[in-house]
Amino acid sequence: MSHDIRIVTEAELRDVVTLDLETVDVIEAAFTALASGTVVMPPILSMELKEANGEVDVKTAYIPGFDGFAIKVSPGFFDNPTLGLPSLNGLMILFSAKTGLVQAVFLDNGYLTDVRTAAAGAVAARHLAPETVRTAGVIGTGVQARLQAQAAHLVRPFERLLVWGRDGEKAKACADDLRQALGIEVQVAPDAEALVRESTLVVTTTAAREPVLRADWLHPGLHITAMGSDQPGKNEIDPAALFAADAYICDRVSQCETSGELEAALASGHWTGGRPAELGEVIAGTSQGRIDPQAITICDLTGTGAQDTAIATHVFSRLDSAGTIIEV
């Protein structure tokens, strides 16, 4: 018995799904499901290709009630820029959760990952940032710096944005892009400290292996989303800040322990708070997030297979005639 498989390219996917509130709701539902304890999410498969300065990660999750489950393959080959190629690539495959048949192959070059990652930032800001944010800040100047700022603005429509990165030229380009995208005041901050001190909502989007945000910069009413760390050894936030905050929230504790900010905090002995809460538990109301407007909150996003399954299923439902149909 033959069946059809939809092959959809990045360009086609960009027409189907974008970073908007509907996408944020889809990703929020994945976090809520994750907190219910019924999601099956195995550990990430990770392989290093040292000779090519490359790595590849495979994520998946089954969310009961979803028609499909995604398997997402993310290669990162860090010498690619010297060949004129992007470092990050990859694809997602959507399978029927009832029969295991392949339904679609999304040749997205990481686009769906970019969107679902940014959407998770919006979910974190929606549930953890103070109700009113006038100034936000983003540390880092890449694709996620741009997308995270836009995602945060969807749920906390701040009037002013600060950008900081090690490379001043890139920071200026990022600020220019975001000024145009958001239509608000966007400035390059003189340093990370000034950015944090002036912001109510900060998103860190770097691949740092030494903290870019120090604990003594924390101030009442600050929310930080740290989304850059997703591999052992990465560390954006001063380990002392996690315990100093009123609430430190993980997307998935088991991942944050090995690949998120919690890794360094555990290793340095700065984390003595027991099992942190997860974002889905805060959404579901079973764990406490922000207790008052003056609280300091930190959300650690490593990226989950549940987000991949959620975005892939969402995209599939909106494909209409997009893509190439292959009969197998």
Binding residues (CB under 8 A) for a second copy: these are 1, 5, 7, 9-11, 40, 42-49, 51-52, 54, 56, 58, 60-62, 64, 69, 71, 73, 75-77, 80, 83-85, 89-91, 93, 95, 97-102, 105, 107, 109, 324, 326-328
> Smallest distance, Å, CB 91 to a second copy?
6
Q: How near is the Cβ of 108 to a second copy at its closest, in Å?
A: 8
Among 285, 262, 286, smallest CA distance to 275 is for 262
Choice between 85 and 267, CB closer to a second copy: 85
CB of 79 to a second copy, least distance (A): 8
Q: Which is nearer to a second copy, 104 or 161 (CB)?
A: 104
* Amino acid at site 253: V
Residues linked to residue 105 through DSSP beta bridges, in sequence order = 7, 93
Least separation in angstroms between CB 324 and a second copy: 6
Q: With contact defined as beta carbons under 8 Å apart, do 276 and 28 qualify?
A: no
Left, alpha or beta for 109 (phi > 0: left; psi -120 to 50: alpha)?
left
Q: How far is the CB of 36 from a second copy (least distance, A)?
A: 14
Q: Which is nearer to a second copy, 57 or 238 (CB)?
A: 57
Alpha carbons 33 and 181: distance in angstroms, whole number: 32
Which residue's CB is nearer to a second copy, number 66 or number 248?
A: 66
Q: Which residue, among 65, 72, 62, 73, has the nearest Cα to 100 in the 3D structure?
A: 62
Q: Write down the least CB distance from residue 254 to a second copy, Å.
A: 15
> Nearer to a second copy by C-beta: 31 or 62?
62
Half-sphere exposure of 311 (CA within 13 A, CB side): 35
Q: Is 322 helix (H, G, I), strand (E, B) or coil?
A: coil
Tokens of 263: 């890794």
| Residues in Cβ contact with 300 at an 8 Å cutoff, skipping those fewer than 6 apart | 226, 229, 237, 248, 249, 250, 251, 256, 260, 261, 262
The one-letter amino acid at 84: G
**Would you say 104 or 163 has its CB closer to a second copy?**
104
Q: Min. distance of Cβ 319 from a second copy in angstroms?
A: 15
CB of 299 to a second copy, least distance (A): 26
- What's the closest the beta carbon of residue 207 comes to a second copy, in angstroms? 16
Tell me the β-bridge partners of 74.
Answer: 57
Contact 132, 158 (CB under 8 A): no
**Quick check: 27 and 283 in contact, CB under 8 A?**
no
The alpha carbon dihedral of 45, 13, 2, 70 has a sign of: positive
List CB contacts of 20: < 8 A, sequence separation 6 or more. 154
The smaller minimum CB distance to a second copy, of residues 89 and 150, is found at 89
> Which of 89/141 has CB closer to a second copy?
89
**Nearer Cβ to a second copy, position 12 or 261?**
12
What is the four-CA torsion angle of 257, 299, 238, 57, rounded to 10 degrees? 50
